[in-house]
Protein backbone atom coordinates (compact mmCIF):
# COMPACT_ATOMS: atom_id res chain seq x y z
CA UNK A 1 0.00 0.00 0.00
CA UNK A 2 1.41 3.33 -0.98
CA UNK A 3 0.66 6.69 0.50
CA UNK A 4 0.46 9.88 -1.54
CA UNK A 5 3.51 12.10 -1.19
CA UNK A 6 3.22 15.02 1.16
CA UNK A 7 2.66 18.34 -0.56
CA UNK A 8 5.93 20.10 -1.31
CA UNK A 9 6.74 23.49 0.19
CA UNK A 10 6.10 25.31 -3.10
CA UNK A 11 2.67 23.68 -3.31
CA UNK A 12 1.81 24.71 0.23
CA UNK A 13 3.09 28.23 -0.43
CA UNK A 14 1.01 28.45 -3.58
CA UNK A 15 -2.10 27.25 -1.74
CA UNK A 16 -1.51 29.85 0.97
CA UNK A 17 -1.03 32.49 -1.69
CA UNK A 18 -4.30 31.54 -3.36
CA UNK A 19 -6.13 31.91 -0.07
CA UNK A 20 -4.50 35.29 0.53
CA UNK A 21 -5.40 36.44 -2.97
CA UNK A 22 -9.00 35.29 -2.43
CA UNK A 23 -9.14 37.32 0.77
CA UNK A 24 -7.69 40.30 -1.08
CA UNK A 25 -10.27 39.97 -3.84
CA UNK A 26 -13.07 39.88 -1.28
CA UNK A 27 -11.63 43.01 0.33
CA UNK A 28 -11.36 44.78 -3.02
CA UNK A 29 -14.90 43.76 -3.91
CA UNK A 30 -16.06 45.08 -0.56
CA UNK A 31 -14.32 48.38 -1.18
CA UNK A 32 -16.03 48.50 -4.55
CA UNK A 33 -19.39 47.98 -2.90
CA UNK A 34 -18.58 50.66 -0.34
CA UNK A 35 -17.50 53.09 -3.04
CA UNK A 36 -20.15 52.44 -5.68
CA UNK A 37 -23.32 51.20 -3.99
CA UNK A 38 -24.02 54.44 -2.10
CA UNK A 39 -23.71 56.41 -5.33
CA UNK A 40 -25.99 54.07 -7.22
CA UNK A 41 -28.86 53.88 -4.76
CA UNK A 42 -28.54 57.04 -2.71
CA UNK A 43 -26.78 55.53 0.31
CA UNK A 44 -23.86 56.88 2.32
CA UNK A 45 -21.22 54.65 3.89
CA UNK A 46 -20.01 55.05 7.48
CA UNK A 47 -17.48 53.02 9.45
CA UNK A 48 -18.45 51.83 12.95
CA UNK A 49 -15.64 52.58 15.41
CA UNK A 50 -17.09 51.50 18.75
CA UNK A 51 -19.04 48.61 20.24
CA UNK A 52 -22.01 50.56 21.58
CA UNK A 53 -24.33 48.85 19.09
CA UNK A 54 -23.04 45.30 19.66
CA UNK A 55 -23.99 42.66 18.77
CA UNK A 56 -25.99 44.25 15.95
CA UNK A 57 -22.98 46.27 14.75
CA UNK A 58 -19.29 45.64 15.41
CA UNK A 59 -16.15 47.73 15.09
CA UNK A 60 -15.04 47.77 11.48
CA UNK A 61 -18.50 47.19 10.05
CA UNK A 62 -19.69 49.59 7.38
CA UNK A 63 -23.28 50.77 7.59
CA UNK A 64 -25.09 52.19 4.60
CA UNK A 65 -27.60 54.88 5.48
CA UNK A 66 -30.32 56.63 3.55
CA UNK A 67 -32.11 59.89 4.41
CA UNK A 68 -35.33 59.50 6.36
CA UNK A 69 -38.13 62.05 6.71
CA UNK A 70 -38.98 63.33 10.19
CA UNK A 71 -42.55 62.06 9.89
CA UNK A 72 -41.23 58.57 9.13
CA UNK A 73 -39.18 58.26 12.31
CA UNK A 74 -40.36 55.54 14.66
CA UNK A 75 -38.96 53.59 17.62
CA UNK A 76 -36.74 50.68 16.68
CA UNK A 77 -34.97 52.38 13.80
CA UNK A 78 -31.16 52.60 13.85
CA UNK A 79 -30.31 56.18 13.01
CA UNK A 80 -27.26 58.25 12.13
CA UNK A 81 -27.05 61.72 13.66
CA UNK A 82 -24.50 64.27 14.92
CA UNK A 83 -23.49 63.72 18.52
CA UNK A 84 -25.96 65.92 20.47
CA UNK A 85 -23.37 66.46 23.22
CA UNK A 86 -21.44 68.69 20.85
CA UNK A 87 -18.54 66.38 20.05
CA UNK A 88 -17.39 66.53 16.45
CA UNK A 89 -18.52 63.04 15.47
CA UNK A 90 -21.45 61.07 14.20
CA UNK A 91 -23.43 58.55 16.23
CA UNK A 92 -25.30 55.42 15.17
CA UNK A 93 -27.82 54.48 17.87
CA UNK A 94 -31.33 53.07 18.05
CA UNK A 95 -34.40 55.28 18.45
CA UNK A 96 -36.15 54.27 21.67
CA UNK A 97 -38.91 56.86 22.04
CA UNK A 98 -39.75 60.57 21.81
CA UNK A 99 -39.70 63.00 24.70
CA UNK A 100 -42.40 65.58 25.46
CA UNK A 101 -40.78 68.07 23.07
CA UNK A 102 -40.62 65.61 20.19
CA UNK A 103 -36.87 65.07 20.48
CA UNK A 104 -35.48 61.57 20.01
CA UNK A 105 -34.53 59.37 22.95
CA UNK A 106 -31.77 57.06 21.72
CA UNK A 107 -29.58 54.29 23.06
CA UNK A 108 -26.85 51.95 21.91
CA UNK A 109 -27.95 48.33 22.01
CA UNK A 110 -24.98 47.45 24.23
CA UNK A 111 -25.65 50.28 26.69
CA UNK A 112 -27.60 49.86 29.92
CA UNK A 113 -29.32 53.25 29.79
CA UNK A 114 -30.61 55.77 27.29
CA UNK A 115 -28.39 58.54 25.97
CA UNK A 116 -28.54 61.51 28.32
CA UNK A 117 -28.83 64.13 25.58
CA UNK A 118 -31.85 63.87 23.33
CA UNK A 119 -31.61 64.36 19.58
CA UNK A 120 -33.59 66.98 17.62
CA UNK A 121 -35.57 65.12 14.98
CA UNK A 122 -34.47 67.54 12.27
CA UNK A 123 -30.80 66.70 12.84
CA UNK A 124 -31.12 63.04 11.84
CA UNK A 125 -28.92 62.34 8.83
CA UNK A 126 -30.28 58.96 7.86
CA UNK A 127 -31.49 55.49 8.78
CA UNK A 128 -29.22 52.44 8.62
CA UNK A 129 -30.39 50.22 5.77
CA UNK A 130 -27.56 47.74 5.34
CA UNK A 131 -24.54 46.39 7.22
CA UNK A 132 -21.37 45.18 5.49
CA UNK A 133 -19.42 43.20 8.13
CA UNK A 134 -15.79 44.10 8.84
CA UNK A 135 -15.04 45.67 5.45
CA UNK A 136 -14.15 48.93 7.20
CA UNK A 137 -11.54 47.37 9.49
CA UNK A 138 -8.60 49.18 7.83
CA UNK A 139 -10.30 52.53 8.45
CA UNK A 140 -11.10 51.46 12.02
CA UNK A 141 -7.49 50.41 12.64
CA UNK A 142 -6.27 53.72 11.26
CA UNK A 143 -8.68 55.68 13.47
CA UNK A 144 -7.43 53.74 16.50
CA UNK A 145 -3.77 54.13 15.52
CA UNK A 146 -3.36 50.35 15.21
CA UNK A 147 -0.76 50.22 12.47
CA UNK A 148 0.27 46.62 13.21
CA UNK A 149 -2.77 44.97 11.57
CA UNK A 150 -2.52 47.35 8.61
CA UNK A 151 1.16 46.55 8.12
CA UNK A 152 0.57 42.82 8.53
CA UNK A 153 -2.19 42.86 5.94
CA UNK A 154 0.00 44.78 3.51
CA UNK A 155 2.90 42.33 3.96
CA UNK A 156 0.59 39.33 3.47
CA UNK A 157 -0.86 40.73 0.27
CA UNK A 158 2.56 41.70 -1.05
CA UNK A 159 3.92 38.20 -0.37
CA UNK A 160 0.90 36.62 -2.04
CA UNK A 161 1.35 38.84 -5.08
CA UNK A 162 5.02 37.83 -5.37
CA UNK A 163 4.23 34.11 -5.17
CA UNK A 164 1.37 34.31 -7.65
CA UNK A 165 3.41 36.47 -10.03
CA UNK A 166 6.25 33.96 -9.88
CA UNK A 167 3.96 31.04 -10.68
CA UNK A 168 2.06 32.79 -13.44
CA UNK A 169 5.23 34.09 -15.06
CA UNK A 170 6.87 30.71 -15.66
CA UNK A 171 6.45 28.65 -18.84
CA UNK A 172 4.17 31.08 -20.61
CA UNK A 173 6.57 31.76 -23.51
CA UNK A 174 6.51 35.53 -23.14
CA UNK A 175 9.06 37.49 -21.19
CA UNK A 176 8.35 40.59 -19.19
CA UNK A 177 9.72 42.66 -22.05
CA UNK A 178 7.34 40.94 -24.49
CA UNK A 179 4.25 41.73 -22.52
CA UNK A 180 2.13 44.71 -23.41
CA UNK A 181 2.93 47.79 -21.36
CA UNK A 182 0.50 48.71 -18.62
CA UNK A 183 -2.16 51.12 -19.86
CA UNK A 184 -1.63 54.69 -18.86
CA UNK A 185 -4.25 56.62 -16.99
CA UNK A 186 -6.24 55.83 -13.90
CA UNK A 187 -5.66 52.64 -11.97
CA UNK A 188 -8.39 50.27 -10.82
CA UNK A 189 -8.27 51.89 -7.40
CA UNK A 190 -8.69 55.30 -9.01
CA UNK A 191 -11.72 54.10 -10.92
CA UNK A 192 -13.34 52.71 -7.79
CA UNK A 193 -12.72 55.93 -5.94
CA UNK A 194 -11.62 56.22 -2.34
CA UNK A 195 -14.66 55.47 -0.22
CA UNK A 196 -15.69 58.61 1.62
CA UNK A 197 -16.72 57.18 4.95
CA UNK A 198 -17.38 58.91 8.21
CA UNK A 199 -16.83 57.37 11.60
CA UNK A 200 -19.83 56.30 13.61
CA UNK A 201 -19.93 55.30 17.28
Which residue did the predictor score with more confidence, 185 or 75? Answer: 75
Supply the CATH number for residue 45's domain: 2.10.109.10
Domain that holds residue 66: 10-169+191-200
pLDDT in tens, 80-114: 999 998 888 999 999 999 999 999 999 999 999 99
Q: Using an 8 Å Cβ cutoff, are 82 and 123 in contact?
A: yes
- Domain assignment present for residue 176? The answer is no
| 159-174: average pLDDT | 59
Distance CA 129, CA 169 (A): 44
- Domain assignment present for residue 125? The answer is yes
- Domain assignment present for residue 57? The answer is yes
Which of 8-17, 73-82, 120-129, 183-192 shows the lowest per-residue confidence on average (mean pLDDT)? Answer: 183-192
Tell me: pLDDT of 49 over 60: yes
* The total number of structural domains that make up the chain: 1
- Domain assignment present for residue 181? The answer is no
Q: What is the pTM of this model?
A: 0.62
Question: Positive or negative CA dihedral for 129, 132, 137, 138?
Answer: negative
pLDDT at 151: 66
- Domain assignment present for residue 25? The answer is yes
- Domain assignment present for residue 86? The answer is yes
pLDDT at 82: 97
Amino acid sequence: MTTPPAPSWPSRAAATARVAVAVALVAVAGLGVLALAPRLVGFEGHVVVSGSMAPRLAEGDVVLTRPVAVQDLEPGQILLFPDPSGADRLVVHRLVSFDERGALVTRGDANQSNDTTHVPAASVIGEVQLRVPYIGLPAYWRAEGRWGPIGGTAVLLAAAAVVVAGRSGGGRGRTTADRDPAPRGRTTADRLGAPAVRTAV
